[in-house]
Structures are given as structure tokens and as C-alpha cells.
Structure 1
Amino acid sequence: MDYILKCLSAFLCAIYIAGCTASVPVDNVTDAGTAPEITPDYTGIVIPPNIAPMNFEIVNPGKEYVTRITGADGGELTAAGRVVKWNIDDWHKLLEANRGKTLDYEVYVKDDSGKWKRYTFSNTVAPDDIDPYISYRLIEPSYEQYALLTINQRDLTSFDEDVVFNNTLLNDDSRGFCINCHVPRNQYRDGSSQFHVRQFHGGTVLMTDGKVRKVNLKTDSTLAAGVYPAWHPTLNLIAYSVNTTKQRFFSVGDRKVEVYDTKSDMILYDIDRDEVRNIAADTTLQETFPAWHPDGKRLYYSVAAYPEGVGPGNIIEKYDSVRYDIVYRDFDPETYRFSRPDTIVNVASSGKSALLPRVSPDGRYLLYSMAPFGTFHIWHPESDLYVVDLETG
């Protein structure tokens, strides 16, 4: 059996090598004059020099395919086949040799008549590495199953993936629960992180100083426990929105579900004192999705007024009229006091809804998601990402 497995392994290896090496055609070739259609669309982008191979599939119809990458400072990779997979070691060598330089791609597609078409595009290799890890929830593409999920960590320099927390191990019919919002304190890589547990034995699981504990962020003066978190860059503080979230399901049309808030406020949790205080609790407004400026002296978040004639009890009647602006409050790290809010992205009055602000590490740019309405844009295919220059507006 071992002998058979070794022979099969060698055979498959030979097929893999044959499929990943190729000669670039030189005869009977015409230039298409455009970039190829590939998925994912990795054309005209900036590539971190330490990222895992950016493999893709060629969409253009054809019988044979050859792809070549050439580095401006040297190096070349060639692959055959519609599905392009790069050797990880060769890929990293090419990117390392071309930090800050250009990679030129050539995609050759052979049609039924035996003629080749040459498609081209270029990408730029960034001079600096990206952080090697990203964490996320891995869940079935559904809004019904919440128990069968895990929090995973992916090494972005390879395709290695590890499970941080497996929600399925502790769930059963008598004690089901959901976990969400796993957010590490990235700035100083100190191992601190948190996630929230809903339903059975609910609470916020906090990991700091090498210890794990569960805290209850619900108080008599707050709507709910913490939902969407934002770690302060330097202090042991976490800003949360507290949300009363609902779902509406549709029986007709393309839209399947709408996730919306009936109420939402902002709170600040002091980890050292185990103390919760309100940041914003205006009953006429909904505040959500906090994000700190990298210097820790300003907090951004989204805010929406209730549509005319609507309140928490009947907001579902005008769910498609709920629109958010992005505001900020200055924060004093000495007194823990916030200023009054000021608007930085004013789009609600023009029929747009801006959410999920994030500030670039240098404090220069604000990234956010925008759609025609609503608070949960992952269900809105018409949503897009925008960026505003905080210095020039």
C-alpha cells in the first residue's frame, strides 16, 4: 500500500508540475489591447510583498491558457491552465525582489482556430509588509443558523488557517448561543481581544494580560450589553454601541431580509475599573459602529434620526428611510470626557446612509460603507466603499 501511495503521489506531483509550467507562445499571437477577465479581479492593484500567492481563474473562453508575470527588477513566473496557481516560494521570491516596483502580467488565450490572444495588465508591489494575520467568523451563508460557526485566524502570508474558538463544541438544544464581534487590540499586538456571547450564559468574553474573563456590560442605564466594539489605541477602554436589533423577512422581490435597529446608543467600558458609562443616549437618535482615531483623542461613529412619524415601535414601517451620517466626538484621555458631536460625513439628507467608519493608521483618511439606506449593508448589494481625506475634506 505504501508503494502504491508513493507512486500515486509522484504521479499527481508530475501532473501538478506539468500544469504549472508552460512556454509562452511566440507565433500566431495578436494583442487583445485589454486586460483579461479574471476572478478575483486582481488587475491594477497594489500587492503586499509578503502576501500569499494571489491565484486566479481566467474567465475569457478558450482552449489553452498560459500566464506569465515579469518583475521590473527581475524574476519571472509562468503557469499553464485556466486556473492559475503560483508556487508559494517562487511567488515570495518574485515579490521580495520587486518591492516598490511593477509586475507585468501577460495572459495568453488560445481559441478554437489555434490563434492566441495576448491580454496584459500591471500590478504594483508595495514597499512595506502587511500584518500577517486576520481573524473572522466562519459561518454558513445563512441568517438562520447561528450555532454552527467558528472564529478563525488566517495567516495572510500563506493559506494556513487555525480555529480560535469553536462555537459548535458547546452548543446543544438546551443551551444554544451565538458569538459575534471578535475584535483584537491590534495596535500593540499584546494578545488582548474580546467577543460577545448572546443567549445561553451571555456576556462579553474579555482576554487581557493573558487572562480570560466574562463581563456583563448591561446596566440599568443602558439598552443592552455591548455589541459593536472599538478598542482605545492606548488606554484600557472599549467603546461599544448597544443595539436592539431586529430582522424583517420578505416573501416577494429580490430582497430576502433586512436587519435593522429599533434603538442604539454608545457606551464606554473601563476595563481596569469594570465600569460602564454612557457616551451617547439620545432617544431621538440611533448611534452605532464606533471607531477611534489612532491617536485616541477622537471617536467616530454613525448616527441616524428616526424618520418623521416613526419611533422605536414602528420603525419597520419605514426601514428604507433610515439613513446615517458619520460624526465624531473629541475625547480627553485625562478626564475621559467627550465633546459634543460634530458631523464629518453628511449624506443622510441627500438620500444616502454612511456606516462603519475606519481611520487609516496615519489619521489622514476615513473609510466607510455607503448605501441608499439602512444600517446593515452586507445585505445591500448596492453598497460601496468610500474614503474621505480628513485634512482636505
Structure 2
Amino acid sequence: MKHTYFIQLLTTLLLMTAISSCTQSHIIPEVQTDKQVTLFPDYTGVTFPSNIAPPNFRIMEEGEEYYTEIGNKNKVFVTIRSKEPSVVIPVKEWGELLKQTTGNTFYIRIYILQTGRWTQFPDITNIISPAPIDPYLVYRLIYPGYELWNQMGIYQRDLTSYREIPLIENQSIEKGCLNCHTFCKNSPETMMIHTRGEVGGTLVYRQGNISRLDVNTPEMKNGGTYAAWHPGGRYLAFSVNEIRQYFHTTGPKAVEVSDSESDLVLLDTETNRLISSPSIYGKEWMETFPAWNPDGTMLYFCRSKAIDKNTPLDSIRYDLCRISFDAGKENLGTPECIYEASLKGKSVSFPRISPDGKYLMFTCSNYGNFSIWHPESELYLLNMETNEIRNMEEVNSNDVESFHTWSSTGEWFVFSSKRQDGLWAHPYIAKFDNQKGTAGKPFVLPQKDPDFYLNFTRTFNLPELITTPVKIGNELIKQTRNNKETVSWDRK
């Protein structure tokens, strides 16, 4: 009998606790306001992929207590009551919301206890797209100044969670500099990473093999810098640049980076031969930032008139050009200018073509080509079918918009922006409608800590979306210590 009595008592206590918990979590507002609540990061009115990690946030309103409810028209998935304004969404409940809300909207409902009364704010409405995003993002983390240049690395983030792992850090390669990385059609099966310093070279991974190359020859003054994979995975287009840095003591641009020389070459990764042509390699023009169209028949790039030591930096402007390429014959055609931005007082950098070949996104600034230091730089879009060019006002801000890449399907893109404070570049993601040629409101990459972007002191550089994880980080580090292979020059 005693045993039965205690079971009944325990059951009653548990039931009373459950009822009490439900009562505690239910809020009856005494005040309703039309004022929109402010969240940091700004996860309001955006479209999320169906496979993104929970977008944790901080409520930027004063209060004694906070109550947050997240759900769709059928169900409440998350309720959080706390004296702290930080909202950390449980991973399991967020996963259920993603599954049951795909293709539809969900709401974030916030109540705040202010001066002893609960105030209900207008619901925040977001959308869960049925389209997933490529689940991995690769980027370089670097301090924005130059005193700590030897503390950098290239990292891989799982977008479905918060897991970040280093692919290669310069602490593991004698503190050498890590530069550009790029992938062929969003796949880590064909990739490239630059390293500088004692173990410098170009690491090329394709068909299961890693090579460490010196993309330079005695006939060339400059080595390979910015790269783009031909969609066939055999050729790498490189710009060969002489880059100079300038430091200003006053003004909004503390640093200026500019090319004094630049040309284009193609690396045949099967034979380690460099291919070029007088049409893209010579003293008359400076060519840089190569990018291929999806079938590999056209190489797009940025081009400016050659300069000398007396040329003012703010007079250097790049146009958007292209040149045909016959992979079978390894022949390059004649350059063609498709957007003469210099006539409009503008300069083009970072052309990137959507996987369906319908759109070309590029960065536009007032001059030069290193747009990460230009607060006025913005994303522009060229419709390849109509030749219409427009400012992507729906994603641009009052500060830097710079490097950008498409997802493998073209339904998403990621770009670097300094919109938070003008100093740190963070990766922003936006949904793209390839029928209308428009983008949704961008959102910053979700982090586990809602205050992450308030405290993190490194900048995200060159974000690249990939479909599967890179699994050869240790092999890349080992390869930096192997002999560097040379390339031959086949200038046509």
C-alpha cells in the first residue's frame, strides 16, 4: 500500500509541476504595440534555406523579462522565457520546424515585461524555402589590420550546424600567408589553395591527387594570383598580378590595394603548361579576376588600361570583358568589352556567372578593383539574355558589399559585407529567384552565440559554397612540405 501511495503522490506532483510550467509559460499581454521589435542579428522578413542551423538572436529592447514563441500556423515549436534577451533556439525543435514549415512561413512572437507590464510586439514573419543551400561554406579568417597577418586560416563551416573546422592554418605551415581558395562547380573534389612564404606554392587537388606548383616561369615577372576553374576541371585561369598596398593616415579608406601590372594565363593541370595569348597578356592592358561561363566557352574578366607610377589610384577603372576559349584546340579568341563601366565613372571586380548561365553578378565601386576597402562598393547584376545591368538594391547596404559566390543550383548566393560596423566583413546569404532575377533580403550566417558578431574580431574573407565537405585538410598541410613542381610556358 505504501508503495502504491508513493507512486500516486509522485504522479500528482509531476502533474502539478507540468501544469504549473504551462501556466508559467503562458503570457497574457497587458499592452500591444505597433512598434517592430529589433533583433540582432536582423532575422526579420527573410527567407531561410530548408537546411540552415538555428538563427539565434538577441532582442534589442529593454525589459525585465522576455518571452519568445516560434511556430507556424499549425503548431508552436519553441517557447523561451528568460530574464536575458538572448534567444537560443533548441536544435531539435528547430529541425522539426524546418520539416513542417518547408515552403511556408513561420512567426517569431515576442513579449517583453516592461515596467511591470507585458507588452506584445508585432509578429516577425519569415519563410522556409523548399530549396536547400549547399551545406558547407569555406572562408578565410583574418584580422582586418596587418600587425596580425600571421594569424590566419582557411576554415570550413557546416551550415546545417555550427561546426567549424580548420582546413589549413598558417601556424601549421611556418606562419606563411594563406591566399585565395577556389573550387570547380562547388565541389571539393577539384580545388585550389595559394600559400606564401617558406612553404609557398599553389596547392591543386584534382582526381584524388594533390600537387604543389609554382605558377610562374623565368619568362614571367609575376606569379599566379586570382584563379577560376574551367567547368571541365582541367584548366585553371589565373591572373598574374603585381599587387601594391597603400596606407592612408586620414580619410575613410585606411588601406588601398592596387595592381601595378596584371595579365591572364591558363594552367593545364594535366601537363603543367601555362597557356596565354597577346590578347590577354601584354603591356597595354591590365587583366584580372577571371571567371568562366558554365560551358567553358567564354572566359570573363576585368580589364583596365595599363598604368605607370604617376597614375592616380582613383583614376584606375576596370571594365567587364570576355574572350572565347576552344578547349579542344586550346585557342583563345579576341577580347570583347561587354560593360564599359569606366565611361560611367565606375569600376568592376569579381564577376561570377550563375550555374544556369543567365546572370552575371559583379561588384561595382568608384575605382580600382580591391573592393573590400571601398565603402561604396555594391553588387550589380547583368542579365545575360537581355544585357540589362542593374544595381542590386535589395541586398546592398550603406557599406562594403564585395566578394560573392553562387550556390551549385543558383538558388542562393553568399557575399561579404561590412554593413554592421564598416570594419569586419561577415558572410551574408540571400535567396535568388532566377525567373525574376531578384534576390530576397540577405541574412548573416547564423552562429550558436547570438552575440557572436558583436565580439568576434576577425573578418570573413572569400566565402565559397560547396556541396560536400573537404576531407583532405591534413594532406594539404603535408603537401606544403613536398617539392614544388614547375610549369612550362606556352605563350601563343
For residues 63 and 383 of structure 1, the distance between their equivalents in structure 2, rounded to whole angstroms, comes to 41
- SS in structure 1 opposite 2:217? coil
Q: Distance in 1 between matches of 2:259 and 2:24?
A: 55
| CA drift at 1:209 | 2.4
How far did 1:356 drift? 0.6
In the alignment, the residues of structure 2 paired with residue 322 and residue 361 of structure 1 have an alpha-carbon distance, to the nearest angstrom, of 30
Structure 1 match to 2:52: 51
Partner of 2:88: 85
1:154 counterpart letter in structure 2: R
User: Which string of whole-angstrom CA distances, capped at 9 and with x for unpartnered residues, describes residues 83-103 of structure 1?
Assistant: 221111211211121222112
What residue in structure 1 maps to residue 241 of structure 2?
Answer: 243
- Map 1:182-193 → 2, pairs under 5 A: 182-187=181-186, 189=187, 191-193=189-191
CA distance in structure 2 between the partners assigned to 1:338 and 1:121 by the alignment: 53
The alignment partner of 2:140 has SS state of strand
Q: Does 1:313 align with 2:309?
A: yes
Alignment check: 8 A CA contact 2:245 2:258 kept: yes
Is the contact made by 1:73 and 1:98 (CA closer than 8 Å) also made in structure 2? no
C-alpha contact 1:233 1:292 (8 A) present in aligned 2: yes
What residue number does 1:356 align with?
350
Alignment CA distance shift 1:185-1:270 (3 Å): same
Partner of 2:419: none
Shift of 1:251: 1.5
Asked if 2 retains the 8 angstrom alpha-carbon contact of 1:63 and 1:111, the reply is yes
Name the counterpart of 2:166: 163
CA distance in 1, matches of 2:74, 2:300: 42
Whether the 8 Å contact between 1:300 and 1:326 is mirrored in structure 2 is yes
Kindly, what percent of the aligned residue pairs are identical?
35
CA-based RMSD of the aligned residues comes to 2.3
Q: Is the deviation greater in 370-379 or in 339-348?
A: 339-348
Map 1:368-383; keep pairs closer than 5 Å.
Answer: 368-383=362-377
CA distance in 2 between counterparts of 1:190 and 1:87 reads 31
Contact 1:354 1:370 (C-alpha < 8 Å) held by counterparts: yes
1:29 is the counterpart of 2:28 = no
Identify the residue that residue 417 of structure 2 maps to in structure 1: none
**2:38 equivalent to 1:60:** no
Counterpart of 1:15 in structure 2 is none
Tell me what 1:300 maps to: 300
SS state of the match for residue 98, structure 2?
helix
Distance 1:33 1:59, change over 3 A: closer
- Structure 2 residue matching 1:107: 3-state secondary structure: strand
User: How many angstroms apart in 1 are the aligned matches of 2:113 and 2:333?
Assistant: 64
1:170-200: CA deviation from partner (whole Å, max 9, x where unpaired): 32xxxx521211223244x362221112232
2:382 counterpart of 1:388:
yes
CA contact (8 A) 2:108 2:125 kept: yes
Q: Is the 8 A contact 1:222 1:278 kept in 2?
A: no
What SS is found at the alignment partner of 1:94?
Answer: helix
Q: 1:174-323 counterparts in 2 under 5 A?
A: 177-187=176-186, 189=187, 191-278=189-276, 280-306=280-306, 311-315=307-311, 318-323=312-317
3-state DSSP class of the match of 2:121? strand
Task: Figure out how many residues of one structure are paired with residues of the other and give that number.
Answer: 361
Distance in 2 (CA, whole Å) between partners of 1:320 and 1:30 is 53
CA change 1:74–1:145 in 2 (3 A) is same
Tell me the distance in 1 between the aligned counterparts of 2:115 and 2:351. 50
SS at match of 1:97: helix
The equivalences for 1:322-361 within 5 A come to 322-361=316-355
Where 1:199 maps in the other structure, the secondary structure is coil
Residue number among 121, 126, 132 corresponding to 2:124 in the alignment? 121
CA distance in 1: counterparts of 2:105 and 2:250, whole angstroms: 49
Q: With structure 1 as the length reference, what TM-score do the two structures score? A: 0.85
In structure 1, C-alpha distance between the alignment counterparts of 2:353 and 2:131, rounded to whole Å: 19
C-alpha distance after superposition, 1:303-347 (max 9, x if no partner): 2225xxxx23234xx112222222222322322223322233332
Cα distance, 1:345–1:37 mapped onto 2, change above 3 Å: farther
Task: Report the Cα distance in structure 2 between the residues aligned to 1:379 and 1:145, rounded to whole angstroms.
Answer: 18
Q: For 1:145 and 1:230, locate their aligned partners in 2 and report how far apart those are by CA, in whole Å.
A: 28
Q: Is the 8 A contact 1:75 1:97 kept in 2?
A: no
Q: 2:162, 2:24 → 1: CA distance?
A: 24
Alpha carbons of structure 1 residues 253 and 92: separation in structure 2 relative to 1, 3 Å: same
- Which portions of structure 1, spanning 4 or more consecutive aligned residues, are displaced by more than 6 angstroms? none
Structure ranking higher on relative contact order (CA contacts 8 Å, 6+ apart): 2
Paired with 1:82 and 1:131, the residues of 2 have a C-alpha distance of: 31
Letter in 1 for 2:32: T
CA distance in 2 between partners of 1:30 and 1:292 (Å):
54
Give the SS at the match of 2:117: coil
Name 2:445's counterpart in structure 1.
none
Q: Name stretches of at least 5 consecutive residues in structure 1 with no aligned partner.
A: 1-20
Give the match for residue 150 of structure 2. Answer: 147
Q: Distance in 2 between matches of 1:109 and 1:305?
A: 59
Q: Distance in 2 between matches of 1:335 and 1:123?
A: 51
Instruction: Write the letter of the residue equivalent to 2:107.
Output: D
